[in-house]
């Protein structure tokens, strides 16, 4: 019952109000949510199976026509992540399909892309005007702010997986785009023929302007397989190669690191966890991966996420199994934020 006496205001509550009114926040109340013992927002893995994706991609080829065909792209939208569609916290992957005779408009943007060709029989991506042929398994980069477009001058549809650092660049609000039109392209070391950079240990000495990415733009799958076959096997039987900028051994672009892994039948890879986020693309073979507390079975052209800080191993069930793993690993290493543990 109200006896008419006023309750004096709680000085603590009054102070918190005063703090908020001054655009301040009390760290002592939120410290334990900010400085945590280890990452606590690890999403579960997600797999996009080729057998389920192909009919959707084919439908997009039928129904997405005219101007919209320039961006006939299906984003692999991870349901465990908030915000705009993304595949991993720092990476977005997407299927793009270009039909015979189609040509997309040249444009450029600050998010960098790496493409893995899933179905290709001779169409091409042009990067700063340089032709990069698209055959199954080939990897083509379109670095930050390079002009790029696609032209399918083959008789078969081309389908590839785009992998971009867009979520990262967008979080930093550093997305710039330029839709052209454009008639001329920059000339620099990356517009020299890829052949000039394709022999290990030998690079051209050139006065052409340097670039802050690999001047080699296309990495044919056949070369990657040959290098993997020649690579020494780890104790778990796997063989891994890193796609490198031939000038200095760094990743192809500053934000996206690419590796190809060959698995030995029946042998699980060593259990590893890392602070980097990755997307895995199966090139051939079948097998299983344990990721966190989930085991997923995979086959050719399946794509799945390798979430950060989840214990992970892979095992092939077939004589050969190859996958490409694209991650933010080297970027984290540069920031001194890469932690990796082997069980
Ligand atoms: Fe683009």
pLDDT of residue 2: 57
Burial 115-129 (b: 16+ CB within 10 A, else e): bbbbbbbebbbbbbb
**Spatial separation of the C-alpha atoms in residues 137 and 227, rounded to whole Å:** 14
Between the CA of 9 and the centroid of ligand 1 the distance, in Å, is 58
Between the CA of 149 and the centroid of ligand 1 the distance, in Å, is 7
Question: Nearest CA to 267 among 231, 239, 230, 232?
Answer: 239
Between the CA of 86 and the centroid of ligand 1 the distance, in Å, is 16
- 136-150 mean pLDDT: 97
Between the CA of 190 and the centroid of ligand 1 the distance, in Å, is 18
Between the CA of 76 and the centroid of ligand 1 the distance, in Å, is 16
* Whether pLDDT at 55 is above 60: yes
**Spatial separation of the C-alpha atoms in residues 252 and 239, rounded to whole Å:** 20
Between the CA of 14 and the centroid of ligand 1 the distance, in Å, is 52
pLDDT of residue 200: 86
> What percentage of the chain carries pLDDT values higher than 90?
94
The DSSP result for 81-149, as a single string, is: S-SSS-SSSS-EEEEEEE-TT-BPPPBEESS-EEEEEEE-EEEEEEETTEEEEEETT-EEEE-TT--EE
Between the CA of 173 and the centroid of ligand 1 the distance, in Å, is 17
- 138-162 mean pLDDT: 97
Q: Does domain 47-342 have CATH number 3.50.50.60?
A: no
- 236-261 mean pLDDT: 96
- Domain parsing of the chain, residue ranges: 47-342
Mean residue pLDDT across the chain: 96
Provide the β-strand partners of residue 242. 259
Please report which helix (H) or strand (E) contains residue 323, including its range: strand 320-327
Between the CA of 300 and the centroid of ligand 1 the distance, in Å, is 26
* Whether pLDDT at 1 is above 60: no
Between the CA of 107 and the centroid of ligand 1 the distance, in Å, is 6
Between the CA of 11 and the centroid of ligand 1 the distance, in Å, is 56
């Amino acid at each position: 019952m109200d006896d008419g006496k006023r309750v004096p205001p709680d000085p603590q509550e009054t102070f918190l109000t005063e703090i908020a009114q001054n655009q301040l926040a009390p760290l002592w109340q939120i410290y334990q949510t900010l400085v945590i013992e280890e990452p606590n927002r690890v999403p579960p893995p997600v797999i996009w199976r080729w057998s389920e994706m192909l009919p959707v991609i084919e439908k997009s080829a039928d129904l997405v026509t005219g101007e919209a065909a320039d961006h006939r792209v299906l984003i692999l939208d991870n349901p465990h992540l908030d915000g705009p569609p993304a595949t991993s916290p720092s990476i977005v992957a997407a299927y793009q399909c270009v039909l015979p005779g189609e040509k997309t408009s040249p444009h450029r943007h600050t998010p960098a892309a790496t493409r893995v060709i899933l179905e290709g029989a001779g169409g091409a991506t042009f990067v700063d005007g340089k032709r990069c042929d698209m055959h199954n398994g080939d990897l083509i980069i379109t670095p930050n702010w390079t002009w790029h477009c696609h032209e399918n001058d083959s008789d078969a549809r081309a389908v590839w997986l785009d992998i971009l650092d867009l979520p990262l660049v967008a979080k930093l609000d550093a997305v710039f785009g330029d839709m052209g039109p454009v008639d001329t392209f920059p000339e620099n070391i990356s517009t020299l023929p890829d052949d000039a950079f394709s022999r290990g240990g030998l690079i051209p000495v050139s006065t052409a302007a340097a670039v802050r990415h690999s001047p080699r733009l296309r990495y044919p799958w056949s070369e990657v397989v040959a290098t993997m076959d020649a690579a020494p096997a780890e104790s778990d039987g796997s063989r891994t190669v890193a796609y490198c900028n031939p000038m200095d051994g760094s990743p192809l672009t500053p934000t996206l690191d690419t590796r190809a892994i060959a698995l030995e039948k029946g042998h699980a890879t060593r259990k590893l966890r890392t602070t980097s986020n990755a997307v895995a693309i199966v090139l051939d073979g079948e097998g299983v991966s344990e990721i966190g507390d989930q085991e997923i079975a995979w086959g050719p052209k399946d794509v799945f996420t390798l979430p950060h800080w989840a214990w992970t191993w892979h095992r092939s069930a077939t004589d050969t199994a190859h996958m490409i793993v694209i991650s933010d690993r080297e970027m984290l290493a540069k920031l001194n934020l890469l932690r990796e543990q082997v069980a």
